[in-house]
Amino acid sequence: MSDETARSHGDRFSVRMSADSHFSWLRTRFSVERTLMSWVRTAVSLIGFGFTIVQFFDRLGAMEGVREAARPQAPRYLGLALIAAGIMSLVIAVWQYHRVLAYLRSGQLGSLGGIDDHSIQTPLYAISLALILIGIFAFASVLTRSF
């Protein structure tokens, strides 16, 4: 197949079936998994840290002998911003993860992985979606809480 014919069919590269290519495909797949896991850790940190800031300064303001803050809403806004950043980073990371896996499963590249139509699913999607929901809940609880 010529390069022009391959491009017209949507294939970017010529694929040769070999053990090296298969294991390269697997390494790429696992790299994509590790990348999303890193984003999950980052999102957990952002969401948790944002919620903690709100809670800490709320409790600090309620203690005796502590002077009232000059800007009492600032920790709340910072916490909301961190929680929102965690949610958005995870949404973008899941979208990117989904797109890269779709690319790896498409065309001739999919045949390199040795997978069928029912590809292997990891719990990473479920964990990511649960964390997005937890983040939305945390954001809503901080947003609707009256101080």
User: Which of 144, 142, 145 is CA-nearest to residue 52?
Assistant: 142
For residue 12, the model assigns a pLDDT of 61
Q: Model-level pTM?
A: 0.74
pLDDT of residue 100: 86
Asked whether residue 15 is assigned to any structural domain, the reply reads no
3 domain-assigned: no
Has residue 14 been placed in a domain?
A: no
Residue at 9 is within a domain: no
- Cα-Cα end-to-end distance for the chain: 68
Question: Does residue 139 contact residue 94 with C-beta atoms inside 8 Å?
Answer: no
The answer to whether residue 71 sits within a structural domain is yes
One pLDDT digit (tens) per residue for the chain, 147 residues: 444 444 444 456 666 666 666 677 778 888 888 999 999 999 999 999 999 998 888 777 666 766 676 676 788 899 999 999 999 999 999 999 989 888 777 766 666 666 665 566 778 888 999 999 999 999 999 888 755
1 SS3 class: coil
pLDDT number for residue 137: 93
140 domain residue, yes or no: yes
What's residue 107's pLDDT? 67
| Count of the separate structural domains present in the chain | 1
Indicate whether 136 belongs to any domain: yes
pLDDT of residue 69: 61
Domain that holds residue 105: 21-144
H helices of the chain, where? 3-8, 19-62, 74-105, 107-113, 124-144
Residue 52 lies in a domain: yes
Residue 109 pLDDT: 65
